[in-house]
Amino acid sequence: MPDMRDPARIVPPAAKTAGDAVRLLAQTFRSAGVDTPEVDARVLLAHALGISRAALMAGPERELSRSDLALIADYEIRRRQREPVSRILGRRAFRTLSLEIGATTLDPRPDTEIVVDAVVALAKETANPNLTVLDLGTGSGAIIIAVLMELPNVIGVGTDIDATTLQIALRNAEQANVCQRAKFQQTDWLTGVTGTFDFVVSNPPYIPSASISGLEPEVSRFDPRLALDGGADGLDAYRAILADAKRSLNPGGWIVFEVGNGQSAEVLALCRHYGFGDDENPRVWTDLGGRARCVAARSRR
Ligand SMILES: C[S@@+](CC[C@H](N)C(=O)[O-])C[C@H]1O[C@@H](n2cnc3c(N)ncnc32)[C@H](O)[C@@H]1O
The rounded Å distance from CA 8 to ligand 1 centre is 36
Q: Are residues 109 and 190 in the same domain?
A: yes
Query: Does residue 11 have a pLDDT over 90?
Result: no
Report if residue 4 sits inside a domain. no
CA nearest ligand 1 atom 4, residue: 139
Q: Assign 128 a pLDDT band (cuts: 50, 70, 90).
A: confident
**What order of strands is seen across the sheet that includes strand 182-186?**
182-186, 155-160, 132-136, 197-202, 249-258, 292-298, 283-286
DSSP letters for 135-174: EES-TTTHHHHHHHHH-TT-EEEEEES-HHHHHHHHHHHH
Q: Is residue 100 part of a domain?
A: yes
The residue nearest atom 17 of ligand 1, judged by CA position, is: 161
pLDDT bracket for residue 145 (50, 70, 90): very high
Regarding whether 235 and 161 lie in a shared domain, the answer is yes
Does 71 fall in a domain?
A: yes
- Please compute, for residue 10, the number of CA atoms within 13 A of its CA located in the half-sphere on the CB side: 12
Read off the amino acid at residue 174. Answer: E
Q: Same structural domain for residues 175 and 204?
A: yes
For residue 5, being part of any structural domain is answered with no
| Pocket mutation for ligand 1, best pick of 188, 220, 223, 226 (most atoms within 8 Å of C-beta) | 226
73 shares its domain with 175: no
If one compares 13 and 198, the residue with the highest pLDDT of the two is 198
Pocket test for ligand 1, best of 92, 148, 157, 160 (most atoms within 8 A of CB): 160
For ligand 1, what atom is nearest to the CA of residue 108? 9
Are residues 190 and 233 both part of a single domain?
yes
Q: Name the closest-CA residue to atom 12, ligand 1.
A: 137
State whether 68 and 201 are in the same domain. Answer: no
| C-beta separation of 201 from 150 below 8 A | no
Q: How far, in Å, CA of 140 to CA of 151, rounded?
A: 19
143 touches ligand 1 (CB under 6 Å)? yes
pLDDT of residue 278: 72
Residue 113 has pLDDT above 70, yes or no: yes
Residue 193 pLDDT exceeds 80: yes
Residue 77 sits in a domain of what CATH number? Answer: 1.10.8.10
- Quote the DSSP letter at residue 259: -
Is 3 within a domain? Answer: no
Q: Alpha-carbon dihedral of residues 193, 199, 203, 209, nearest 10 degrees?
A: 60
pLDDT class of 280 with cuts at 50, 70, 90: low
Q: Given the CA of residue 188, which atom of ligand 1 is nearest to it?
A: 20
How far does the centroid of ligand 1 lie from the alpha carbon of residue 84, in Å?
A: 19
CATH number at residue 147: 3.40.50.150
For residue 171, give its domain range: 95-298
Residue 153 has pLDDT above 70, yes or no: yes
Within a domain: 6: no
- pLDDT value of residue 173: 98
If you average pLDDT over residues 215-235, what whole number do you get? 98
Decide if 160 contacts 169 (C-beta within 8 A).
yes
pLDDT digits (tens, 9 = 90+) for 32-74: 999 999 999 999 999 999 999 999 999 999 999 999 999 999 9
Q: Is the pLDDT of residue 31 over 70?
A: yes
Is 198 part of a structural domain of the chain? yes
Query: Are 195 and 130 members of one domain?
Result: yes
Q: Single out the residue in 57, 81, 105 at which a domain terminates.
A: 81
Q: What is the mean pLDDT of the chain?
A: 94
What band does 7 get if pLDDT is binned at 50, 70 and 90?
very low
Q: Is 104 in the pocket of ligand 1 (CB under 6 A)?
A: no
Ligand 1 center to 237 CA (angstroms): 9
Average pLDDT over residues 160-170: 98
Q: Point out the domain boundary residue: 81, 108, 128.
A: 81
| Number of domains the chain is built from | 2
